[in-house]
Structure 1
């Protein structure tokens, strides 16, 4: 809808009326989510507000039964949204220029604005669930145009666990052994702490891999389980996951019983260091299945 309506005439009219009436600044109602807007405050309460949050404009008339049915539904949804978006109700009988600016042909007409521009609209009454879906779709497609408020960002950020902060400080200082011990203690006391468990897995791997002689990659015998597992660690530490996984998969192919079980367990352990959706992890899982069966 961008560019389809001309809002400049309303802006000029509103500015002139505001100057004449000397309207106090406190009347802008920044915290309100349901507003009754006139031509006088159109610029402030609809256009300017839409640069900070989604504004849904309800063009209605008291003589229109569909309007009187739809308006309470929109108000209820706006209140339930908790400030995520604001509803601006406009009586077209007393504010005809607003309806003209939007090119409304009937009432009720509902227009969504972001950044001072209309982004979506519908006419006539709609079921509540359909309106909710309509608003969600607007946020999905155009929500990135709205600024993120510092208050919202702060509210969304969880408070850091002091134990995790202390363990992270040890890790950042280079004390991997101390950090590993700290993260292990957290994981034991808090089994649901996924982050602590993940860091433990990573630190255990790094500590083990750094203890190997890098030359093991070239000297490991094909059937030597310890040597091949060590070689895989070195390859993975060197950012070569495909080569590391292939080493262990070949080991699975040439070993039996306990050695084979050990190789398979190590490969599954290394998989946990990565996102399971990584293409090289998915490919290695397929190769492992083929090697086993």
Structure 2
């Protein structure tokens, strides 16, 4: 486990932000400024580059607007795939957030200071205070809820400024509302009511079998539901103790995928497959099909794993 997470949160979910509600903005207090007051803050872009050398300015900026820090690596396929999703959701907040990207391979001081041992790792700065949000590529449905909660928690701490892109252009406005059942699922995920989210996605798929976003959403939230209430150490220990235990191996594959270790998850299940009976093979095959939806059918890792699975089946 690379980042200390709230013990009440799920394995990769957002930490509890409620503690920020009563905490004053320490950076704003130190500077004697009103965190929310004054004109909108002008920035070159809603997505900025952070380094060991310039990070101090983003700590100062977080006294007026929440700063989401994404620690990424160009060597991580999960990090590359996750980056545009996070950027889009930050932009959708309409200037209530700024995204700062930090290359973990080039900024060792920030990596150490923010306790990042995997990519992507996402932290939020509010009033100069860093708080870990998650590690690994969080499903988009959950991530959308996290960004909204960050804005709400920051406002309750007195950090409610907004930014505009330099030159006077307003930050992009949020995208149109989601279809009703998608929104119902997103709202349920925000409450960590994964059973309700699963039900909403299944209802949507019954109405629109070709809705690929609903299919992927169902696979994502099912993964969250399976991991809920389980600890990292217990999952790893069970898998090590039972190399032929299908349940234990499925759990640790879930954990690998949730942490962005896509190839490891695929290799684990595909390596297990030949030794299983018919029921075990069916379970592994169904889990792999879920993973393909989560990662994305166009991903090269999915194409390779799908070919290996076909070879094992036929």
Q: TM-score, normalised by structure 1?
A: 0.41
Q: Which has the higher contact order (CA 8 A, sep 6+)?
A: 2
- Flag the structure with larger Rg: 1
Q: Which has the higher helix share?
A: 1
